[in-house]
Structure 1
């Protein structure tokens, strides 16, 4: 490649990042930093991209170079804080988030990350809300406050925060959508319909507003209208897994036979046992070592904000990028099971099979450690294609149906009438369950005194 200026490298990097080529963008940003050796901005851009790639050590080094070159932007402190957190330097990460907020008092993303870090560290609502209690009263920060309040178990106060913000900014789409979701959780179908309708009027082409309106119609029992609107939303966003889930729910409620083909086809859900990875004598030995490695990553007392986990913790790094040998061995072995699942699906024009093509890739991976009394609320993965649950270690309670079992088909939203799961799977150590990302799924509550340790990931076509 011919010699280019630093500015040209920056433009090339931005184009590569926009196209999804993060690795190429990181190389170009590194070249831009070399071409502009005094530029803090170039180092920041490199750091942010390395962080997106999961190279947190590299990102941390780049932020330090940015600081050394005079950079002091809140955005750089945010990247710095996230990298410290990912590398397990939690106290330093908390201080860095505070530095980002000190430089921009209304920095909503930094407030959210800091609140989540404190909440996961202590499980104390007062810790989660500490920085927010003195933060400016903006619409963006109202959304953060509401997320935190809901996650720590105070939905009524969260709803009051959003209602107050809406009185000041009735045309804010994000506030309307949040208000609709809060009304649904509170069982107030009249308010939910009003907020969802207002959101759809504000943004008739918004997929988010369309989904909110479908959810409100399902809650109100206006099922035919819900099905019709859901079909229009899916037509506009055919790979949106949340929209497909709502359409499937409406079809099931109205007795449309298309639901069975979309959700109850037995080939769509598989369970297979992991082969013994190379280098281990048995599956049991591998799982024991894997459990130790994953447990070391679970240094949290509570679940992340806005996630499905209840009474447990979730790792905060992409496991596909972790260098621990036993974790690398897991992700080197899983493709055998994933490929077998895809081959068994065959061909078709449904939302899963029509996307089978040249290959697939992991799109994020994490571990969940549920404590006794823990569960996953029913949910879907809107940006996925296939989702998973891999069982590492399990409590004895899973022998008592349905404790700790994986449930499919029970909506994570209010519907009239309510729906029960249409299928449950009993987990076993070393078992991988694969299923469409649009299927409602959750983990049933379990009792006893032993935790439940799993790995989960999404995959998407390439």
Structure 2
């Protein structure tokens, strides 16, 4: 008899490998958090503990050379992940659709969600103080398990470090666990579409 694993859920963990770019990104995110009035207002109105450019700025790679450099790195990582996933893209490449920054204050979290209308989503971590909160990934079968006994791996926690890149298929439900850090956690999140 044989037991096979079918339809695996893939999760990519990589490193940016450019410490000076990580430092540039931190300075850029802090400048945006200071200057982006619309983003600060949206964050406050939606109970986001800190600042995000999610609903205010959609041109970061054109606005700031650090984000243009980041995009070039991300394009290569996403192409590798797409190949690992076996995507049949017909000679096309996945394209960056959106990219936003997150400056999460101590005590902040982001509840479970997916990224509709995208193929690959991800985050690169810029500043990760101790206790920042892991990325928690949910078994995509969870809603279908009905009468199944509990499993030990229904949720997986991925612990980032500065320069870490996480990628996953956009339908994979995930959340940011509450930060118990004493300082800000900074990350850049993004979506790629076909």
Q: TM-score, normalised by structure 2?
A: 0.79
Q: Name whichever structure is richer in helix by fraction.
A: 1
User: 1:273 matched to which residue of 2?
Assistant: 15
Match status 1:385 vs 2:119: yes
Q: Deviations over 1:63-90 (max 9, x none)?
A: xxxxxxxxxxxxxxxxxxxxxxxxxxxx
CA distance in structure 2 between the partners assigned to 1:336 and 1:321 by the alignment: 16
2:98 maps to 364
Matches within 5 A, 1:187-206: none
User: Residue 457 of structure 1 aligns to a residue in which SS?
Assistant: strand
Q: CA RMSD in A?
A: 3.1
Question: Does structure 2 retain, via aligned residues, the 8 Å contact 1:290–1:392?
Answer: yes
**More RCO (CA 8 Å, sep 6+):** 2
Mark the runs of 5 or more structure 2 residues left unpaired by the alignment. 35-39
> Secondary structure of the residue that 1:373 maps to in structure 2?
coil
Pairwise CA distance, 1:291: 0.4
Q: What's the CA shift for 1:389? A: 0.8
Q: Is the 8 A contact 2:29 2:103 kept in 1?
A: no
Please point out which of 272, 289, 311 is paired with 2:24.
289
Residue 272 of structure 1 aligns to a residue in which SS?
strand
Q: Compare the two structures and name the one with the higher strand fraction.
A: 2
2:136 aligned residue (402, 407, 424) = 407
Tell me the secondary structure at the aligned position of residue 116 of structure 2: coil
Instruction: Output the CA distance in 2 between the equivalents of 1:440 and 1:460.
Output: 17
Matched positions, count: 180
Contact 2:138 2:172 in 1 (8 A): yes
Partner of 2:171: 438
CA pair 356-428 structure 1, distance change in 2 beyond 3 A: farther
1:387 aligned counterpart, secondary structure: strand
- Structure 1 stretches of at least 4 aligned residues deviating more than 4 Å after TM superposition: 354-357, 414-421
Write the distance in 2 (CA, Å) between the matches of 1:261 and 1:371.
40
Q: Is 1:429–2:167 an aligned residue pair? A: no
Q: What corresponds to 2:67 in structure 1?
A: 327
The SS at the match of 2:109 is: strand
Query: CA 1:365–1:304 in structure 2 vs 1: closer, same or farther (change >3 Å)?
Result: farther
Q: 3-state DSSP class of the match of 1:293?
A: helix
Match of 1:457 among 172, 177, 190: 190
Asked whether the 8 Å contact 1:341–1:434 carries over to 2, the reply is yes
CA distance in 2, matches of 1:429, 1:364: 21
Q: Is the 8 A contact 1:388 1:433 kept in 2?
A: yes
CA distance, structure 1, for counterparts of residue 41 and residue 27 of structure 2: 17
Counterparts of 1:321 and 1:305 in 2: how far apart (Å)? Answer: 26
Cα distance change, pair 324–271 in 1 and its aligned pair in 2 (3 A)? same
Normalising by structure 1, what TM-score? 0.35
Q: CA deviation at 1:428?
A: 1.1
